[in-house]
Structure 1
Amino acid sequence: MDMTRPLRIGILAGHEDRFENWELMVLDRIVADPHFELVTLIIHPRAFGNRKTSPLFALGARLEGKLLARQPAYTPKHFDVGRQRLDYLEAIGGRNTTNGTVAPASFKRLDLDLVIRTTPEGLPDDAIQALPFGEWAFNFSDQRSEHTDWFSYGSIIANAPTTELMLYAKRGGEMPVAEIATSSFNIKFSAARNAAFVRERGVTLLMRELARLADTRRLDAPPMARLGATSAPSSGDLIRYAGALSGYLSAKSLKALKTKLRFGSSIWTLYTGRGRIDDFDPKQAIEIPPTNGDIKADPFLFQHDGECYLFYEAYADGDRKAHIAVGRFNGDTVERIGVALDRPHHLSYPFVFREGDDIFMMPETHQSGRLEIWRCTEFPLKWELYSTALEGQSAADSILMRHDGKWWLFTNLSDHHAYEDHCSELYIFEVDGPELKRVVPHKRNPVVIGSTVARNAGRIFERDGKIYRPSQHNAYGIYGYGLNIMEIEQLTLDDYRERCIRTITPDFKTGLLGCHHFDAAGGRYIMDARLSI
C-alpha cells in the first residue's frame, strides 16, 4: 500500500446541497488537509429509509432546535459543493439503475479507501466490501428521520449521567462492525442542544481518527458489542421529557434572576488531610469552609521556607470574575494573606511551581485569549508576566510537567464552531519550559476526548515511576461532578495512553454535589467540593 498518497474518501449524504453544520465542517477539513482527498459525494436516494416520527414530535423537535440549539451557519473556507462533487453520476446508481443503489463497477473505479456515512441508510454490502477501511458512521447518524432527529432524547429521558458518542465502521460480509472510538459527554438539559454539541465534538473525533488512519493505514479497531437502539421515543417518553425540560428551564430562569440580582454564585468548599495522590482518603478530610466574601476553589499547595501555602481562585457571592488569593496553613486552618494576582478578566486554577531559583504561576487566563506564566518577584504577593503562548486560543486549566528531561504542557482547548467547551478535549505540547518559546503539538491532539476524563483537575504527579494526572469527571449535567485519578502509561510526541485507576464521587461527605480538583505537597493534600450548582 502506498503510504504517501492521500486517503481517498467519499461522503455518503442524504441531500445534494443541504448540509448540516457538522457535515460542512467535515467536508471543509477533509478538503483542507493534504493527507486526505475528497473523491466523491454519494447522495443516497433513500437516505432515511422508512424512519418516520409523528408530526407533533417533528414540530416540537424543530421548535426546540430553534429556541435552544440555535447556531450560526458554518461557512466553509475550502469546500465548494459545485466544484468538488466529483464523479457524481457514475458513483450514484440512482441516475442509472432501476433500484437506486450504488453501481458496484463504477464504485470500485473510484478507488476509495473509505466512505463516511452521514445518513441512517448506508451502502450495499458488496460496495462496503470493496472499501479497504469500510463505511464509517456515528451513532447519531442512525437516530433520525428526514425531518426529525431523536439522538439524545433517550439519554435525557433515562436520566443517564452522560451521552455516548460512537464512531464505528462496517466492513461488509462476515466482518464484525468495528468500534473505532467512543467518548462520553456531560448531559445538556435539551436534547436538541445536546445533539448539536455532540455532533460538533464528533467532528474533532473523526478528524483525529482519520489522521491516525492516514499515518498507519491500519484499522486496529475491536468488534463493537452493539450498535444501540435506533427507534424514536414513544409518546409517553416525550411527555416525560417535556416535564423534565420545563422543570429545568424554570430552575435556569431562577438562577439567571439571582445572577442579575448579584447573588447565587456557585459555592465551593475545601477539604484537606494527610496523604498523597496514590493513597488519600477523602472521608477523613477536614473542611476549610468558605465565607461570603472569600469562596475558594481550584486550590494549589506550595511549600516555601518550611511552610505550606495555599493559592486558590477567590471570589465573593455575586462576583462576575475571580482573582487569585493566597493563604498560609496553621494546622488544618488557613490564614488569608492577600491577593496574589488580579486582572481585568477572570482568573482561576493558579498552578504554582518552582524551577531553579524562580517561582512561577500559570493561572487560567482563557478570557485573555492566551496562555500566561507569571514569575514571583516577592513571595507570595508580587508577580510579573514572564511568558505567553497559544496566542488567540482559549486555554483552560493548564499544567506543566517535566518527565525524562522533557517539559510537557497539558491544556484544555476547545475545537468548536458554535459550542465552546473546555471540558472535552485534552491537548499536549512539548515545550522548552516556562519560557514557552518552543511549543510543539502532539501528533494525536486532542489526545483525550470526552467530558468524563479530558479536563485537568490539578497538578500532575510522578511517584515511584508512575505518572498520575487528576482529571474532572463531568456528568449528570453537573460541571465538576467527580474527580478521576488517571495513570499515564505512555507519553511521547507520537503516542499517548492513560487509564483511570480511581474516581472520587461527591459522597465522601454529606451535602456535596461535586468535587473537581486535587493537589498535594509535603504530605498534605487539598480538594475542593461543590455545595451548590
Structure 2
Amino acid sequence: MTTVRPLRIGVLVAQKEGFENWELMIFDRIMADPRFSLITFIVHPNPFGDLKASRLFELESHLERRLLARQRRYTPQTFDANRQRFDDLRVLGTYVAADIDVPRQLVNERELDLVIRLTPASLPSDAIRDLPFGEWAFNFCDQRSRKADWFSYRDVISKSAATELLLYAKQDDARVTSIASPSFNIKFSAARNAAFLKERAVTLLMRELGRLADSRELKAEPSRRNDVVKPPSSVDMVRYAGGLSSHFLARAIKALRARMHSGSAIWTLYTGRGRIDDFDPRESVEIPPTKSDIKADPFLFQYGNECYLFYEAYADGDRKAHIAVGRFRGDKIEPVGIALSCDHHLSYPFVFRDGKSIFMMPETHQSRRIEIWRCVEFPLKWELYSTAFEGRSAADSVLTRHKGKWWLFTNLSDFHAYEDHCSELYLFEVDGPELKRIISHKHNPVVIGSTVARNGGRILERNGQLYRPSQCNAHGIYGYGLNIMEIEELSLTAYRERCIRTITPDFKKGLRGCHHFDAAGERYVVDARLSL
C-alpha cells in the first residue's frame, strides 16, 4: 500500500503572536489532520503594504469589534506557537545576498505544496510560481490595514442581498482562480458580519484542503474577484451609523413587545395543486394563522384516504413551539390536536414511513441531539425511538431512501462563537430510522452558504429525479426565499446539486419571506412570512 505524503503547508502571517480566533482554529485543525503537515509560518516584512484607513474609521472599527463582535478566546488543542517554525523574512533578508530570492528559497527548501496567506500582501510572484498549488487567501484578507478591517462594510451600507466569501488561489503567471465562493446572509453590523464569516471560513478552508489532499488536483475556476475594496468614506460612515441606529431602535421595540407577550414572527401557509417541479404559488389558497395558532414548517402526510398536516405551532408571544396536527377538509384545516410537546422548542416535524411504521424527526437542536419518534397511535401518540449526534447542534434534518440506501441530510452547526444552522449542509449514509450506523460523506459539509444550504422540506422524488427544497436566507431576512435544488449526484464520495428555481416572497401581497415546501399526492403546501 502506497503512503501518500501529507500536504506540506506554509502560512504567511503578519506577526508571530496575537492571532485571531479563526486563525487559531485553522492552525489547530491542520495540525490535527494527518493529511496535512504545517511546515512553517512565514512572517511578511511588509504585510499590509500601503493599505491605510482614516483615523475616524480605525476608531469606529475598533469600537465596533469590541462592542458587537466580541467573543471568548479560542483555546487550541494541538497548536502551540512556541513549538512552530517561524521564518521571519525581515531577519533572513539581512543575512542573504541581495541577488538571492529569499521567499523563493524558503518555498523550495521547505518543499511547500501551498501557502495560506493571512495578510493583504502576497509572496513575490517567483515564489508563488514554485508552489504546486499556489498561494491561497480569502477576500477578507485583502480588506484590512494594521489597525482596521473593512470587510463587508460596503455590503452592509449598500444593503446587498448577501456577502460573498471568496477563497481563491494565486498561481503561476499571476493567474488567480476561485476555489469556492459561497454567499451568506448579511448581519446588521459589518464587524459582526465579518467575524461570523471568518468562522465559516475555517470550515470552508478545511473542506477544500481535504479535497486537495485526496485528489492532488486543484479544482478551481477563473476568479470573479471584484476591484480593490477601499475603506468606507466619511459619507459612507454617516449612512452606516444611520442604519445601525435604525436597527437598535427596531430591536428595542421588539424587546418591548416581547415583554408584553407579543411580537412573534408571524407565518402563514398556502396550499394548492402541483408538484415540486411545476407548482405555481400564485394560484395557492391561504391557510391563515390565528393569534393562538401560528403555523410554520408544514409537512403533509397521507393516512388512509385523508391528508394530514403536521406543523410547528405557537401563539403570539410564545418562547417555544410544539408540533400540532390537523386534517384537510377541502383547502381548510380541521384541528386534530398536539402531536408532540417537550420542554424545549420543537419545529420542522418531518413525518415519514418505513414499512408499516410511521416516524417523526422534528428539529430539537436545543436538546443538542437528533431525535426520531415512532408513532404509537396515529396521529397524537408518539414515543422516542432513537437519537444521534449527542452533544451536537443540528437543525432541519431529513431522511430519504434512494436506490436502496438511506441518506441523512442535516444542518449541523460547527461553531465556536456563532451558532448557525443556515450555512452548512452535512450528508451521511445511515441504516434508517434507528441511526445506529452513520457514515459521514467524504467532503462534509457538502454545501456551504446560507443562500442554499439549509433544508426547506423533505427530499422529494419526481420521475426518478431527487429534489431538495432549501432556504434562501438573504437581504438580512431569515427565510427570505425558497430554492428548489435538483440533486445531480449522490454518493459517499460525491455530491452535486443545482438550483432550478427560487421562489421569492412576491407571489402574494404582503409577504416578507417563504422558506418551506412539502407535497403529498397532488397537494403541496408552502409557508410564508408576514412579519419580521
Under TM normalisation by the shorter chain, which class is it? over 0.9
Letter of the 1:479 counterpart:
Y
Letter of the 1:33 counterpart:
D
Please state if 1:338 is matched with 2:331: no
Once the two structures are superposed, the pairs formed by residues 375-390 of structure 1 within 5 Å of their partners are 375-390=374-389
Note the alpha carbon deviations across 1:9-64, whole angstroms, 9 max, x for none. Answer: 00001111110111111111111111000000011111001111111111011111
Compared CA separation, residues 106 and 451, structure 1 to 2 (3 A): closer
Letter of the 1:417 counterpart:
H
CA displacement at 1:98 relative to structure 2: 8.4
Cα distance in 2 for partners of 1:401, 1:91 equals: 57
For structure 2, the residue ranges without an aligned partner over 5 or more in a row are none
CA displacement at 1:106 relative to structure 2: 3.4
Cα distance in 2 for partners of 1:467, 1:187 equals: 30
Q: Percent identity?
A: 67
Q: Is contact 2:57-2:232 (8 Å) kept? A: no
What is residue 445 of structure 2 aligned with on the other side?
446
Q: Is contact 1:92-1:101 (8 Å) kept? A: no
What is residue 492 of structure 2 aligned with on the other side?
493
What is residue 31 of structure 1 aligned with on the other side?
31
Aligned to 1:5, the other structure's residue is in SS state coil
Cα distance in 1 for partners of 2:461, 2:329 equals: 27
CA displacement at 1:526 relative to structure 2: 0.4
What is residue 164 of structure 2 aligned with on the other side?
164
Please state if 1:532 is matched with 2:524: no
Please state if 1:301 is matched with 2:300: yes
What is residue 148 of structure 1 aligned with on the other side?
148
Q: Is contact 2:368-2:392 (8 Å) kept? A: yes
Q: Is contact 2:44-2:89 (8 Å) kept? A: no
Q: Is contact 2:45-2:90 (8 Å) kept? A: no
What is residue 9 of structure 2 aligned with on the other side?
9
What is residue 324 of structure 1 aligned with on the other side?
323
Q: Is contact 1:407-1:431 (8 Å) kept? A: yes
CA displacement at 1:235 relative to structure 2: 1.4
Compared CA separation, residues 3 and 48, structure 1 to 2 (3 A): farther
CA displacement at 1:172 relative to structure 2: 2.9
What is residue 363 of structure 2 aligned with on the other side?
364
Q: Which has the larger displacement, 287-296 or 97-106?
A: 97-106
CA displacement at 1:225 relative to structure 2: 3.2
Compared CA separation, residues 3 and 158, structure 1 to 2 (3 A): farther
Letter of the 1:117 counterpart:
R
What is residue 177 of structure 1 aligned with on the other side?
176
What is residue 351 of structure 1 aligned with on the other side?
350
Once the two structures are superposed, the pairs formed by residues 189-200 of structure 1 within 5 Å of their partners are 189-200=188-199
Q: RMSD over aligned Cα, in angstroms?
A: 1.5
Aligned to 2:198, the other structure's residue is in SS state helix
Letter of the 1:40 counterpart:
T
Cα distance in 1 for partners of 2:228, 2:349 equals: 44
Cα distance in 2 for partners of 1:230, 1:182 equals: 17
Cα distance in 2 for partners of 1:102, 1:231 equals: 31
Q: Is contact 2:296-2:312 (8 Å) kept? A: yes
Cα distance in 2 for partners of 1:84, 1:91 equals: 18
Cα distance in 2 for partners of 1:420, 1:94 equals: 44
Aligned to 1:141, the other structure's residue is in SS state helix
CA displacement at 1:3 relative to structure 2: 6.7
TM-score, length of structure 1 as denominator length? 0.97
Once the two structures are superposed, the pairs formed by residues 43-192 of structure 1 within 5 Å of their partners are 43-85=43-85, 88=87, 93-97=92-96, 102-173=102-173, 176-192=175-191
Compared CA separation, residues 232 and 96, structure 1 to 2 (3 A): farther
CA displacement at 1:346 relative to structure 2: 0.3
For structure 1, the residue ranges without an aligned partner over 5 or more in a row are none
Cα distance in 2 for partners of 1:508, 1:146 equals: 48
Aligned to 1:15, the other structure's residue is in SS state coil
Cα distance in 2 for partners of 1:112, 1:227 equals: 29
Compared CA separation, residues 483 and 347, structure 1 to 2 (3 A): same
CA displacement at 1:226 relative to structure 2: 2.8
Cα distance in 2 for partners of 1:419, 1:295 equals: 28
Letter of the 2:503 counterpart:
I
CA displacement at 1:250 relative to structure 2: 1.1
Cα distance in 2 for partners of 1:350, 1:106 equals: 56
Cα distance in 1 for partners of 2:176, 2:90 equals: 24
Q: Which has the larger displacement, 212-221 or 225-234?
A: 225-234
Cα distance in 2 for partners of 1:92, 1:152 equals: 35
Cα distance in 2 for partners of 1:237, 1:76 equals: 38
What is residue 431 of structure 1 aligned with on the other side?
430
CA displacement at 1:89 relative to structure 2: 5.2
What is residue 211 of structure 2 aligned with on the other side?
212
Cα distance in 1 for partners of 2:59, 2:89 equals: 37
Q: Which has the larger displacement, 253-262 or 391-400?
A: 253-262
Note the alpha carbon deviations across 1:385-424, whole angstroms, 9 max, x for none. Answer: 0111111111100000000000000000011110010000
Letter of the 1:133 counterpart:
F
Cα distance in 1 for partners of 2:353, 2:91 equals: 63
CA displacement at 1:227 relative to structure 2: 4.1
CA displacement at 1:220 relative to structure 2: 1.8
Q: Is contact 1:134-1:170 (8 Å) kept? A: yes
Letter of the 1:359 counterpart:
I
Letter of the 1:262 counterpart:
H
Cα distance in 2 for partners of 1:506, 1:89 equals: 54
Note the alpha carbon deviations across 1:182-211, whole angstroms, 9 max, x for none. Answer: 110000000000000001001100000000
Compared CA separation, residues 308 and 95, structure 1 to 2 (3 A): farther
Q: Is contact 1:22-1:200 (8 Å) kept? A: yes
Aligned to 1:126, the other structure's residue is in SS state helix
Aligned to 1:201, the other structure's residue is in SS state helix
Q: Is contact 1:92-1:103 (8 Å) kept? A: no
CA displacement at 1:84 relative to structure 2: 1.7
Cα distance in 2 for partners of 1:531, 1:90 equals: 58
In the alignment of these two chains, the number of paired residues is: 530
Once the two structures are superposed, the pairs formed by residues 386-425 of structure 1 within 5 Å of their partners are 386-425=385-424
CA displacement at 1:505 relative to structure 2: 0.1
